Amino acid sequence: MSTPAGQRRLANPFAGLPREVPVLSGVAFAVAIGFGVVAPVIPVFAREFGVGRTAAAAVVSVFAAMRFVSAFGAGRIVDRLGERRVLAFGIAVVAVSSALAGLAQSYDQLLVLRGVGGIGSAMFTVSAYSLLLRSAPSDQRGQSTGLFTGGFLVGGIAGPALGGLLSEVSIRAPFFFYAATLAVAGSIGLFLLPKAAGAAATKGGGSAASLGSAVRSPAYRAALSAQFADSWSVLGVRAALVPLFVTDASFNGGLGLSRSWVGIGFGLVAALNAIVLIPAGRFADRVGRRPVLMAGAASSTVGMTLLALSSSLGLYLVALTVLGLGSGLLHVAPGAIVGDTVTSLPAAGSVPEEPVPAPPQTAADEPAPPKPGRGGTVVAAFQMTGDAGSVLGPLVAGHLADANGYGWAFGVTAGVLGFAFVMSLFAPETRRASVRATRS
């Protein structure tokens, strides 16, 4: 008795996808479970050296800052050496720097080592994301992006709770655990990715796709806005300030709860992210990227507003629930839009071909679309926008929290997310039905 196609997809969400998708998702899972362990304790560990809240938030920011300044350089290295090698080497840099951060004896050492880790993270992210977007066909790009992000988030479900337990034993232990999981991630990428993956990713136009052409697209600009706002909120404010907000009993607006509630809250967000990723990816592939982008930005804005108003454990958990749903949607739509943008752009300096007068009579006779240029700069700009949000978010919100309390910090973040929602209203749909999709 045959199994319906829909049930097969539910049993194996990777069925029919390029091999790069499950492998990169496995790498993402191994990275995320370690990062989920260490993320809640980073600002708390920094405070052990007697620094203020803004300085503690800067430890989170410096990681993103170094990712930001090294992104384009990482893209050039990828073009020369290929994705597999750069991915493995980048993860190795983060692993070594994380282990050394666990041994840090001063705030300055911790800050420098987290910055070095950011350089390795840029190499990993650019190589992995560029390979993913170019490997996935248009009608599977939303699913592929969701599953890749899901690798990070499923690992993030177990990571924060485990990190809370490890931090009770030693505030340094999560850094060593993170280094070990990164070693696993690098091995997966180096040995399981197809050996031709790097060559496949660089086929096509002889030069890079034009970043200027991408920026002129309102859909790409909306994706950048959403990436900036989501990173400000998730990688910046939530990672840097929420642990302090939950555990601080003596400062204006703090809840004064145990560190375990930080891990529970982070795990809740990660679980909700994981739940919505696959259905959101399929919806984006079948219906469109724009409605997913709008819903994600709107939900995130509401969730952050509720967090700004939180004065109890109950409202804190409700706010993170809404934020988890919204950020899950924003982990799918912007990336799919960037992939659509990259594959629709010609190589920089190329001359468009004359249109064919008569359309093909059958789908089988349809000519292949012109090959796009390499999208390294377009993907790097997308990453850099997110890193800019991760840098500015903790610093601006940390300063506001020091000066006026946590409510102001979360309220300004809600405004940043609201701007992304406005940008999504003006974004055109980028989804294009493929020949395979119309046949099925």
Using one digit for the tens of pLDDT, what is the confidence trace for 174-203?
A: 899 999 999 888 888 778 887 655 444 444
In a domain, 10, yes or no: no
Average pLDDT score over residue span 25-33: 88
Indicate whether 16 pLDDT > 70.
Answer: yes
Average pLDDT score over residue span 258-270: 81
Average pLDDT score over residue span 421-426: 96
Indicate whether 365 pLDDT > 50.
Answer: no
Helix extents (H) in 309-405: 313-330, 333-344, 376-404
Distance set, CA 59 to CA 44, 64, 90, 118 (Å): 10, 9, 20, 11
Residues 6+ away with beta carbon under 8 Å from 347: 204, 205, 206, 207, 208, 209, 210, 372, 373, 374
Average pLDDT score over residue span 384-401: 86
Average pLDDT score over residue span 121-145: 87
pTM of the model: 0.76
pLDDT band at 411 (very low <50, low <70, confident <90, very high): very high
369 or 375, greater pLDDT:
375
pLDDT band at 353 (very low <50, low <70, confident <90, very high): very low
In a domain, 354, yes or no: no
Judged by DSSP in three states, 347 sits in strand
- Predicted local confidence at residue 427, as pLDDT: 94
In a domain, 305, yes or no: yes
Average pLDDT score over residue span 168-174: 84
In a domain, 23, yes or no: yes
- Burial (0-12, 13-18, 19+ Cβ within 10 Å), 313: middle
In a domain, 9, yes or no: no
In a domain, 438, yes or no: no
Indicate whether 298 pLDDT > 60.
Answer: yes
Q: What is the CATH number of the domain that holds 334?
A: 1.20.1250.20
Domain span holding position 136: 18-347+371-432
Percentage of residues in the chain having pLDDT higher than 70: 82
In a domain, 353, yes or no: no
One-letter amino acid for residue 62 of the chain? V
Indicate whether 417 pLDDT > 70.
Answer: yes
Number of domains in the chain: 1
Indicate whether 205 pLDDT > 90.
Answer: no
Indicate whether 418 pLDDT > 60.
Answer: yes
Percentage of residues in the chain having pLDDT higher than 90: 29
In a domain, 88, yes or no: yes
